[in-house]
Amino acid sequence: MNLPVEEIRELVGREVAYTAPEPLGRAALRYFALAVGDDNPLYTDAGHARAHGYRDVVAPPTLICETNQYAGLPMDADGYAGHSWHLDVPGARLVRGGNDYTFHQPVHPDDVITATWRIESAEEKAGKLFVISRATYTNQRGELLAVNEETLIYVEIP
Amino acid sequence: MKAGDEVPALERTIGAADMIAYAGATWDWHRLHHDAAYLRARGLDRPVVDGQLFGALLAEQVQDWLGPDARLRRLRFRLLSMVFAGESVRVTGVVTGVEGPLVTVEQKVLVADRVAAGGTAQAVLP
Protein backbone atom coordinates (compact mmCIF):
# COMPACT_ATOMS: atom_id res chain seq x y z
CA MET A 1 0.00 0.00 0.00
CA ASN A 2 1.57 3.23 -1.16
CA LEU A 3 -1.34 5.54 -0.42
CA PRO A 4 -0.32 8.50 1.77
CA VAL A 5 -2.65 7.57 4.64
CA GLU A 6 -0.67 9.44 7.31
CA GLU A 7 -0.55 12.66 5.29
CA ILE A 8 -4.29 12.58 4.67
CA ARG A 9 -5.02 11.66 8.29
CA GLU A 10 -3.28 14.88 9.37
CA LEU A 11 -6.05 16.79 7.56
CA VAL A 12 -8.80 15.38 9.79
CA GLY A 13 -10.51 18.31 11.48
CA ARG A 14 -9.86 20.70 8.61
CA GLU A 15 -12.90 22.92 8.11
CA VAL A 16 -14.10 25.41 5.52
CA ALA A 17 -17.36 27.39 5.58
CA TYR A 18 -19.29 29.04 2.75
CA THR A 19 -22.14 31.47 3.31
CA ALA A 20 -24.51 32.20 0.43
CA PRO A 21 -24.58 35.87 -0.63
CA GLU A 22 -28.39 35.84 -0.74
CA PRO A 23 -31.43 33.87 0.48
CA LEU A 24 -32.05 30.58 -1.35
CA GLY A 25 -35.08 32.07 -3.14
CA ARG A 26 -38.38 30.69 -4.41
CA ALA A 27 -37.10 30.35 -7.98
CA ALA A 28 -34.32 27.98 -6.86
CA LEU A 29 -36.93 25.62 -5.37
CA ARG A 30 -39.13 25.74 -8.44
CA TYR A 31 -36.19 25.32 -10.83
CA PHE A 32 -34.88 22.27 -8.94
CA ALA A 33 -38.32 20.63 -8.78
CA LEU A 34 -38.81 21.23 -12.50
CA ALA A 35 -35.33 19.90 -13.34
CA VAL A 36 -35.80 16.63 -11.45
CA GLY A 37 -39.40 16.26 -12.65
CA ASP A 38 -40.99 16.46 -9.19
CA ASP A 39 -44.40 18.18 -9.38
CA ASN A 40 -45.14 18.05 -5.63
CA PRO A 41 -46.95 21.35 -4.81
CA LEU A 42 -45.19 21.56 -1.40
CA TYR A 43 -42.32 23.14 -3.37
CA THR A 44 -44.33 25.68 -5.36
CA ASP A 45 -47.70 26.38 -3.70
CA ALA A 46 -47.45 28.26 -0.38
CA GLY A 47 -51.12 27.63 0.46
CA HIS A 48 -50.70 23.89 0.01
CA ALA A 49 -47.48 23.89 2.06
CA ARG A 50 -49.19 25.83 4.89
CA ALA A 51 -52.07 23.35 4.89
CA HIS A 52 -49.50 20.66 5.67
CA GLY A 53 -47.75 22.39 8.55
CA TYR A 54 -45.05 24.46 6.85
CA ARG A 55 -44.81 28.25 7.12
CA ASP A 56 -44.16 28.67 3.37
CA VAL A 57 -43.14 26.55 0.37
CA VAL A 58 -40.28 24.20 1.25
CA ALA A 59 -37.29 23.04 -0.74
CA PRO A 60 -37.29 19.48 -2.09
CA PRO A 61 -35.44 17.73 0.77
CA THR A 62 -32.23 16.88 -1.08
CA LEU A 63 -31.82 20.28 -2.80
CA ILE A 64 -29.67 21.72 -0.03
CA CYS A 65 -27.29 18.74 -0.24
CA GLU A 66 -27.10 18.73 -4.05
CA THR A 67 -26.73 22.40 -4.91
CA ASN A 68 -23.54 24.46 -5.10
CA GLN A 69 -25.54 27.68 -5.04
CA TYR A 70 -24.16 28.76 -1.65
CA ALA A 71 -20.48 28.24 -2.55
CA GLY A 72 -19.71 31.30 -4.70
CA LEU A 73 -16.72 29.46 -6.21
CA PRO A 74 -15.42 29.91 -9.75
CA MET A 75 -15.78 27.04 -12.21
CA ASP A 76 -12.68 24.84 -12.39
CA ALA A 77 -11.22 23.27 -15.56
CA ASP A 78 -13.75 20.42 -15.31
CA GLY A 79 -16.65 22.88 -15.11
CA TYR A 80 -17.16 22.13 -11.42
CA ALA A 81 -18.04 25.00 -9.08
CA GLY A 82 -18.68 23.30 -5.75
CA HIS A 83 -16.67 22.54 -2.63
CA SER A 84 -13.65 20.27 -3.00
CA TRP A 85 -10.78 19.46 -0.65
CA HIS A 86 -8.41 19.09 -3.62
CA LEU A 87 -6.71 16.20 -1.84
CA ASP A 88 -3.55 15.21 -3.59
CA VAL A 89 -3.38 11.42 -3.56
CA PRO A 90 -0.73 10.40 -6.09
CA GLY A 91 -1.26 7.08 -7.83
CA ALA A 92 -4.92 6.87 -6.84
CA ARG A 93 -8.23 7.61 -8.44
CA LEU A 94 -11.21 9.00 -6.58
CA VAL A 95 -14.41 6.96 -6.37
CA ARG A 96 -17.56 8.34 -4.77
CA GLY A 97 -18.56 6.05 -1.93
CA GLY A 98 -21.99 7.46 -1.26
CA ASN A 99 -23.89 10.06 0.73
CA ASP A 100 -25.75 10.04 4.01
CA TYR A 101 -28.19 12.96 4.33
CA THR A 102 -29.92 13.84 7.60
CA PHE A 103 -32.73 16.38 7.35
CA HIS A 104 -33.21 18.32 10.59
CA GLN A 105 -35.55 21.14 9.55
CA PRO A 106 -37.40 22.10 6.39
CA VAL A 107 -35.54 24.58 4.17
CA HIS A 108 -37.43 27.70 3.11
CA PRO A 109 -36.81 30.31 0.38
CA ASP A 110 -35.77 32.97 2.93
CA ASP A 111 -32.99 30.81 4.40
CA VAL A 112 -29.49 32.18 3.88
CA ILE A 113 -27.44 29.03 3.86
CA THR A 114 -24.06 28.47 5.43
CA ALA A 115 -22.39 25.16 4.58
CA THR A 116 -19.52 24.12 6.82
CA TRP A 117 -17.45 21.27 5.41
CA ARG A 118 -15.17 19.24 7.67
CA ILE A 119 -12.88 16.27 7.13
CA GLU A 120 -14.20 13.83 9.72
CA SER A 121 -11.93 10.83 9.27
CA ALA A 122 -9.41 9.15 7.02
CA GLU A 123 -8.67 5.47 7.26
CA GLU A 124 -7.25 2.61 5.29
CA LYS A 125 -9.44 -0.43 4.67
CA ALA A 126 -8.71 -3.28 2.27
CA GLY A 127 -5.99 -1.34 0.49
CA LYS A 128 -8.21 1.69 -0.10
CA LEU A 129 -8.25 5.08 1.55
CA PHE A 130 -11.66 6.12 2.90
CA VAL A 131 -12.16 9.81 3.66
CA ILE A 132 -15.35 11.03 5.30
CA SER A 133 -16.24 14.62 4.51
CA ARG A 134 -19.23 16.19 6.23
CA ALA A 135 -21.23 19.30 5.37
CA THR A 136 -23.39 20.91 8.03
CA TYR A 137 -25.99 23.32 6.67
CA THR A 138 -27.35 26.11 8.85
CA ASN A 139 -29.34 29.28 8.20
CA GLN A 140 -28.89 32.93 9.23
CA ARG A 141 -30.41 32.18 12.65
CA GLY A 142 -27.90 29.39 13.27
CA GLU A 143 -30.63 26.74 12.94
CA LEU A 144 -29.40 23.32 11.86
CA LEU A 145 -31.07 22.41 8.56
CA ALA A 146 -29.28 19.30 7.32
CA VAL A 147 -26.09 17.26 7.39
CA ASN A 148 -24.48 15.61 4.37
CA GLU A 149 -21.84 13.00 5.03
CA GLU A 150 -19.91 12.03 1.93
CA THR A 151 -17.55 9.08 1.61
CA LEU A 152 -14.61 9.57 -0.75
CA ILE A 153 -12.69 6.43 -1.67
CA TYR A 154 -9.17 6.62 -3.09
CA VAL A 155 -8.27 3.45 -4.97
CA GLU A 156 -4.67 2.77 -5.94
CA ILE A 157 -4.11 2.62 -9.71
CA PRO A 158 -2.29 -0.67 -10.34
CA MET B 1 -48.10 -0.52 6.63
CA LYS B 2 -45.62 -3.28 7.45
CA ALA B 3 -42.21 -4.68 6.53
CA GLY B 4 -42.30 -6.23 3.07
CA ASP B 5 -44.78 -3.71 1.64
CA GLU B 6 -43.78 -2.43 -1.78
CA VAL B 7 -43.59 1.26 -2.55
CA PRO B 8 -45.00 2.22 -5.98
CA ALA B 9 -42.14 2.47 -8.47
CA LEU B 10 -41.10 5.82 -9.92
CA GLU B 11 -39.98 5.85 -13.55
CA ARG B 12 -38.08 8.56 -15.35
CA THR B 13 -36.22 8.87 -18.65
CA ILE B 14 -33.28 11.20 -18.23
CA GLY B 15 -32.65 13.00 -21.49
CA ALA B 16 -30.03 15.57 -22.42
CA ALA B 17 -32.40 18.48 -21.68
CA ASP B 18 -33.15 17.06 -18.21
CA MET B 19 -29.42 16.82 -17.53
CA ILE B 20 -28.84 20.41 -18.61
CA ALA B 21 -31.73 21.55 -16.41
CA TYR B 22 -30.29 19.62 -13.45
CA ALA B 23 -26.81 21.08 -14.00
CA GLY B 24 -28.29 24.58 -13.90
CA ALA B 25 -30.57 23.91 -10.94
CA THR B 26 -27.67 22.58 -8.82
CA TRP B 27 -24.97 24.98 -10.04
CA ASP B 28 -22.86 22.05 -11.20
CA TRP B 29 -21.65 22.19 -14.79
CA HIS B 30 -19.15 19.33 -14.63
CA ARG B 31 -18.06 18.36 -18.17
CA LEU B 32 -18.75 14.68 -17.48
CA HIS B 33 -22.42 15.54 -17.82
CA HIS B 34 -22.36 17.36 -21.19
CA ASP B 35 -19.00 17.82 -22.96
CA ALA B 36 -18.53 15.37 -25.87
CA ALA B 37 -14.77 15.98 -26.30
CA TYR B 38 -14.15 15.64 -22.56
CA LEU B 39 -16.11 12.36 -22.50
CA ARG B 40 -14.34 10.95 -25.59
CA ALA B 41 -10.95 11.61 -23.99
CA ARG B 42 -12.10 9.44 -21.07
CA GLY B 43 -13.40 6.58 -23.22
CA LEU B 44 -17.07 7.45 -22.75
CA ASP B 45 -19.44 7.84 -25.69
CA ARG B 46 -22.37 9.53 -23.93
CA PRO B 47 -22.82 12.07 -21.13
CA VAL B 48 -22.98 10.57 -17.63
CA VAL B 49 -26.01 11.43 -15.50
CA ASP B 50 -25.02 13.27 -12.30
CA GLY B 51 -25.44 10.60 -9.61
CA GLN B 52 -26.66 13.18 -7.10
CA LEU B 53 -29.90 13.32 -9.11
CA PHE B 54 -30.79 9.87 -7.84
CA GLY B 55 -30.93 11.29 -4.32
CA ALA B 56 -33.76 13.55 -5.48
CA LEU B 57 -35.61 10.63 -7.10
CA LEU B 58 -35.25 8.44 -3.99
CA ALA B 59 -36.65 11.28 -1.87
CA GLU B 60 -39.49 11.91 -4.32
CA GLN B 61 -40.58 8.26 -4.34
CA VAL B 62 -40.92 8.12 -0.55
CA GLN B 63 -42.52 11.58 -0.20
CA ASP B 64 -45.07 10.85 -2.94
CA TRP B 65 -45.98 7.55 -1.35
CA LEU B 66 -46.29 8.78 2.25
CA GLY B 67 -47.99 12.07 1.36
CA PRO B 68 -47.43 15.72 2.25
CA ASP B 69 -47.68 15.28 6.03
CA ALA B 70 -44.76 12.84 6.21
CA ARG B 71 -41.26 14.24 6.80
CA LEU B 72 -38.17 12.68 5.28
CA ARG B 73 -35.55 12.39 8.05
CA ARG B 74 -32.64 10.54 6.51
CA LEU B 75 -31.48 9.31 3.12
CA ARG B 76 -28.39 7.21 2.54
CA PHE B 77 -27.43 6.15 -0.96
CA ARG B 78 -24.54 4.74 -2.93
CA LEU B 79 -23.84 4.90 -6.64
CA LEU B 80 -23.11 1.46 -8.08
CA SER B 81 -22.94 1.98 -11.84
CA MET B 82 -23.05 4.88 -14.28
CA VAL B 83 -26.25 5.97 -16.01
CA PHE B 84 -26.02 7.62 -19.42
CA ALA B 85 -28.02 10.32 -21.19
CA GLY B 86 -31.25 8.96 -22.61
CA GLU B 87 -31.52 5.96 -20.28
CA SER B 88 -34.68 5.20 -18.30
CA VAL B 89 -34.48 4.54 -14.59
CA ARG B 90 -36.95 2.81 -12.33
CA VAL B 91 -36.86 3.51 -8.60
CA THR B 92 -38.15 0.62 -6.48
CA GLY B 93 -38.68 0.45 -2.74
CA VAL B 94 -39.60 -2.06 -0.06
CA VAL B 95 -40.51 -1.27 3.55
CA THR B 96 -37.98 -2.89 5.87
CA GLY B 97 -39.11 -1.47 9.19
CA VAL B 98 -41.93 0.36 10.93
CA GLU B 99 -41.21 1.55 14.47
CA GLY B 100 -43.94 3.84 15.76
CA PRO B 101 -44.06 6.76 13.32
CA LEU B 102 -40.66 5.92 11.74
CA VAL B 103 -40.76 4.09 8.41
CA THR B 104 -37.63 2.65 6.78
CA VAL B 105 -37.56 1.88 3.06
CA GLU B 106 -34.79 0.10 1.11
CA GLN B 107 -34.57 1.51 -2.40
CA LYS B 108 -32.91 0.76 -5.70
CA VAL B 109 -32.41 2.75 -8.88
CA LEU B 110 -32.51 0.31 -11.79
CA VAL B 111 -31.72 0.66 -15.50
CA ALA B 112 -33.44 -2.46 -16.86
CA ASP B 113 -31.82 -5.11 -14.59
CA ARG B 114 -28.70 -3.12 -13.77
CA VAL B 115 -28.55 -1.55 -10.30
CA ALA B 116 -27.36 2.06 -10.68
CA ALA B 117 -27.81 3.07 -7.03
CA GLY B 118 -29.01 1.66 -3.75
CA GLY B 119 -30.40 3.57 -0.80
CA THR B 120 -32.21 3.61 2.51
CA ALA B 121 -34.75 6.29 3.35
CA GLN B 122 -36.31 7.01 6.73
CA ALA B 123 -39.40 9.14 7.13
CA VAL B 124 -41.65 10.11 10.01
CA LEU B 125 -45.41 9.86 9.67
CA PRO B 126 -47.66 12.53 11.22
The residue type of A106 is: P
Q: If you classify domain B6-124 with CATH, what class do you get?
A: alpha beta
In this structure, are residues A97 and A153 in contact, taking their beta carbons and an 8 Å threshold? yes
How close is the nearest chain A Cα to the Cα of B26, in Å?
4
Mean pLDDT for chain B overall: 97
Inter-chain touch B68–A32, beta carbons under 8 Å = no
Percent of chain B surpassing pLDDT 70: 100
A23-33 pLDDT, tens digit each: 999 999 999 99
Q: Residue B95, class by beta-carbon neighbours within 10 Å (0-12 exposed, 13-18 middle, 19+ buried)?
A: middle
φ and ψ of B106, to 5 deg: -90, 130
* pLDDT number for residue A89: 87
B72-120 pLDDT, tens digit each: 999 999 999 999 999 999 999 999 999 999 999 999 999 999 999 999 9
In this structure, are residues A87 and A119 in contact, taking their beta carbons and an 8 Å threshold? no
H helices present in chain A, as ranges: 5-9, 26-36, 46-51, 63-66
The whole-number average pLDDT for the span B26-44 is 95
Percent of chain B surpassing pLDDT 90: 99
| Number of cross-chain residue pairs from A and B with Cβ atoms under 8 Å apart | 113
The whole-number average pLDDT for the span B48-67 is 97
* pLDDT number for residue A90: 86
| Domains with residue ranges and CATH for chain A | 5-156 (3.10.129.10)
Q: For each successive 10 residues of chain A (158 residues), what is the average pLDDT?
A: 82 97 98 98 98 98 97 94 90 90 98 98 92 98 98 90
Q: Residue B125, class by beta-carbon neighbours within 10 Å (0-12 exposed, 13-18 middle, 19+ buried)?
A: middle
Inter-chain touch B55–A71, beta carbons under 8 Å = no
Nearest to B79 among A38, A98, A103 (CB): A98
Percent of chain A surpassing pLDDT 70: 99
